[in-house]
């Protein structure tokens, strides 16, 4: 009975998260269009994309691993949905457990891993270039991302529970209102751009150079699953940042929900602005940037946090 | 009209195939995708790979070297897909119709849905052609 309840809740959260995610990706596209002095797509654009992709033929390449090719995009969607479900439980039901912060760190890697698995099983040369870039990108942004997660965890009394972090911020004010908080927020914002794979760090699927990169062989609904996973990440990653740094108010009451949406939109718009004002970086530049400056600043931020600034 | 066809009409992803053109039509197509004409308001975006595409914008007489390539790109595109012949060359052969390297026009090689003549056609006329086709599509 309990199992059925969890499974049903998973399916429900998949649909809800997809609808929210597709709508939120439209906000991103529309804002990009307005920044470039265009009109931009209508609100139902992303829904039309997914419905269209579900009606197209699925081509599976001959010289690849067929099982992995089909399984990898589904894995990506499932892990992104589980991330969303965990965050929803923390915010809405006030339900969590001791290590859900660490669980989320692991779960957020899996969508990138699914791209790597899918690309490497498609048997295409350009896809292999794409996955090599994605792997290096994953290695590079993960270090500052974790720096950005450690800072609020130390601030809230060395806890790895999201609920404890929210409670601490409700008593002592949001984590961002301190020097180390600002440093951590900037770091996690930039590395989350790599996480959702938007422009300065979208070199794994660079359209102009390697023709779609890891996703080059995907068509039909399998491509749609990747798009869905990306749009769900657009919901999950900014709300994760809101929980860690901006107080992450509980969404039980209507006003609390509204405040959460405003905070979420602020983070989303910041990510969109970063995406629209920066060109795509080369992989060695990305590596130097993340492991050099950003990690140094992150370690500095951790030291500040430990000394209580 | 089914939901999937409606969705297809609202989100056409374009792949650009050049079958040995003189580059004029290709430049007009690139022009079409700039912010000035903003085809994203119809849901049209440029796809990186033929696997993602719904529309093949083909330019140029298809010369003898290109025949195999154009056929292969057509086979790689997941169906249902729309083939658009852009420019006089791919519609009829134009001034190159008696040339020794001529293997086309395009509709000898793959089935063509929309013909947009012009040497080169303006971006406005490409948009007009595709919009007229979408109105006819059932």
Least Cα separation, residue B26 to chain A (angstroms): 16
CB atoms B51 and A51 under 8 Å: no
CB nearest B48 (choices: A52, A56, A207): A207
| CA–CA min distance A188, chain B (Å) | 30
Dump pLDDT digits (tens) for A10-24: 888 888 889 999 999
Helix pair angle (A100-120, A66-88), 10° resolution: 160
Q: What is the pLDDT of residues B60-69, one digit of tens each?
A: 888 888 888 8
What mean pLDDT value characterizes chain A?
85
Please check whether residue A211 touches B, CB under 8 A.
Answer: yes
pLDDT at A263 over 70: yes
> At residue B18, what are phi and psi to the nearest 5 degrees?
-110, 120
Mean pLDDT across chain B: 85
Separation CA A194–CA A289 (nearest Å): 12
Of the two residues A158 and A251, the one the predictor is more confident about is A158
CA distances to A98, A291, B17, B62 from B88, in Å: 68, 54, 15, 12
Closest CA to A238 of A81, A87, A112: A87
Write down the pLDDT at residue B60.
Answer: 84
Closest residue, chain A, to B81 (C-alpha): A56
Residue A39, chain B, CB below 8 Å: the answer is: yes
Percentage of residues in chain A having pLDDT higher than 90: 6
Q: Tell me if B94 sits within 8 A of A236, measured CB to CB.
A: no
Least CB–CB distance from A41: residue in B40, B48, B52: B40
Beta carbons of B7 and A220 less than 8 Å apart: no
Q: Note the pTM of the prediction, 2 decimals.
A: 0.86
C-alpha–C-alpha distance, residues A295 and A54, integer Å: 41
pLDDT at A247 over 80: no
Q: CA of B2 to nearest chain A CA: how many angstroms apart?
A: 10
Alpha-carbon distance of B80 to B113, in angstroms, equals 12
| A127-130: long-range contacts, CB 8 A cutoff, minimum separation 24 | A127/A213, A127/A214, A127/A215, A127/A216, A127/A217, A129/A210, A129/A213, A130/A204, A130/A205, A130/A206, A130/A210, A130/A212, A130/A213, A130/A214, A130/A215, A130/A216
Lowest-pLDDT range of A3-7, A205-209, B107-111:
A205-209
Mutate to test the interface with A, among B13, B51, B74 (most CBs of A within 10 A): B51
DSSP state, residue B39 = G
B10–A45 CB contact, under 8 Å:
yes
* pLDDT for A19: 92
Q: What is the pLDDT of residues B18-30, one digit of tens each?
A: 888 888 888 888 8
Contact residues on chain A for B43, CB-CB shorter than 8 A: 41-42, 45, 48-49
Question: Best residue in A25, A39, A41, A57 to probe B by mutation, most B CBs within 10 Å?
Answer: A41
CATH fold for the domain made of B10-136? Rossmann fold (3.40.50)
| Strand-pair category, B55-59 with B114-116 | unpaired
Nearest chain A Cα to B44, which residue? A41
**Integer CA distances (angstroms), A92 to A162, A251, B39, in order:** 12, 5, 40
Q: Which residues contact A56 (CB under 8 A, 6 or more apart)?
A: A219, A220, A221, B54, B78, B79, B80
Q: What are the structural domain ranges in chain B? A: 10-136
In whole angstroms, what is the distance from residue B99 CA to residue B88 CA?
15
Say if residue A32's pLDDT is above 80. Answer: yes
B80-108 average pLDDT score: 84
Inter-chain contact B11–A44, Cβ cutoff 8 Å? no
Q: Are B51 and A216 in contact (CB under 8 A)?
A: yes
B19 in Cβ contact with B65 (< 8 Å):
no
The predicted model gives A280-284 an average pLDDT of 83
CB atoms within 10 A of CB A10: 13
Q: Which helix (H) or strand (E) holds B115?
A: strand B114-116
Chain A: residue whose CA lies nearest to B7: A48
CA distance B10 to B43: 6
| Interchain contact A40–B (C-beta under 8 A) | yes
Residue A249 in this model has a pLDDT that exceeds 70: no
Q: What are phi and psi of B41, to 5 degrees?
A: -70, -20
> Are A216 and B49 in contact (CB < 8 Å)?
yes
Q: What is the DSSP letter of A279?
A: P
Nearest-angstrom CA–CA distance, A145 and A87: 18
For residue A55, the chain B residues in CB contact (below 8 A) are: 4-5, 7-8, 80
Q: What is the mean pLDDT of residues A180-206?
A: 82
Lowest mean pLDDT among A19-23, A35-39, A210-214, A297-301: A210-214
Whose CA is closest to A174, among A183, A165, A162? A165
Gyration radius (Cα) of chain B, Å:
14
In this predicted model, what pLDDT tens digit does every residue of B111-122 receive, in sequence order?
Answer: 888 898 888 888
| Pairs across A and B, CB distance < 8 A | 86
Of A62, A59, A75, nearest to A117 (Cα)? A75
Q: What are the C-alpha distances in Å from A67 to residues A122, A132, A189, B52, B76? A: 10, 21, 35, 20, 20
């Amino acid at each position: 009975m309990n199992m059925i309840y969890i499974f049903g809740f998973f399916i429900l959260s998949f649909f809800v998260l997809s609808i929210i995610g597709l709508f939120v990706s439209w906000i991103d596209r529309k804002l990009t269009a307005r920044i470039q002095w265009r009109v931009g797509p209508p609100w139902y654009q992303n829904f039309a994309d997914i419905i269209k992709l579900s009606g197209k033929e699925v081509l599976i390449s001959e010289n690849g691993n067929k099982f992995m090719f089909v399984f990898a995009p589904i894995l990506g969607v499932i892990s992104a949905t589980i991330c969303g479900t965990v965050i929803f439980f923390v915010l809405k039901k006030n339900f969590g457990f001791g290590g859900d912060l660490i669980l989320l760190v692991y779960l957020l890697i899996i969508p990138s891993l699914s791209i790597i698995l899918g690309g490497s099983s498609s048997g295409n040369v350009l896809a292999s270039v794409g996955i090599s870039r994605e792997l290096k990108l994953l290695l590079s942004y993960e270090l500052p991302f974790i720096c950005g997660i450690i800072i609020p965890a130390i601030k809230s009394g060395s806890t790895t529970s999201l609920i404890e972090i929210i409670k601490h911020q409700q008593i002592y004010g949001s984590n961002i209102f301190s020097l180390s908080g600002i440093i951590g927020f900037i770091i996690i914002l930039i590395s989350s751009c790599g996480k959702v794979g938007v422009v300065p760090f979208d070199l794994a699927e660079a359209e102009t150079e390697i023709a779609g990169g890891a996703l080059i062989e995907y068509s039909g609904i399998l491509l749609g699953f990747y798009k869905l996973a990306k749009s769900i990440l657009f919901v999950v990653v900014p709300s994760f940042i809101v929980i860690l740094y901006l107080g992450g108010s509980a969404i039980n009451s209507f006003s609390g929900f509204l405040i959460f949406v405003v905070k979420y939109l602020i983070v989303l718009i910041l990510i969109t602005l970063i995406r629209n004002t920066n060109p795509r970086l080369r992989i060695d530049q990305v590596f130097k940037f993340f492991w050099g400056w950003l990690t140094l600043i992150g370690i500095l931020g951790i030291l500040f946090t430990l000394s209580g600034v | 009209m089914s939901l999937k066809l409606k969705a297809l009409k609202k989100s056409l992803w374009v792949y650009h195939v050049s079958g040995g053109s003189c580059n004029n039509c290709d430049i007009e197509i690139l022009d079409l995708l700039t912010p000035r004409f903003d085809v994203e308001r119809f849901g049209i975006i440029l796809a990186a790979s033929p696997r993602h595409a719904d529309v093949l914008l083909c330019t140029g007489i298809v010369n003898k070297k290109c025949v195999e390539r154009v056929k292969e790109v057509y086979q790689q595109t997941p169906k249902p897909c729309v083939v658009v012949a852009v420019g006089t060359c791919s519609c009829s052969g134009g001034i190159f119709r008696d040339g020794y390297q001529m293997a086309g026009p395009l509709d000898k090689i793959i089935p063509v849905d929309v013909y947009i003549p012009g040497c080169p056609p303006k971006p406005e006329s490409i948009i007009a052609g595709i919009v007229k086709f979408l109105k006819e599509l059932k």
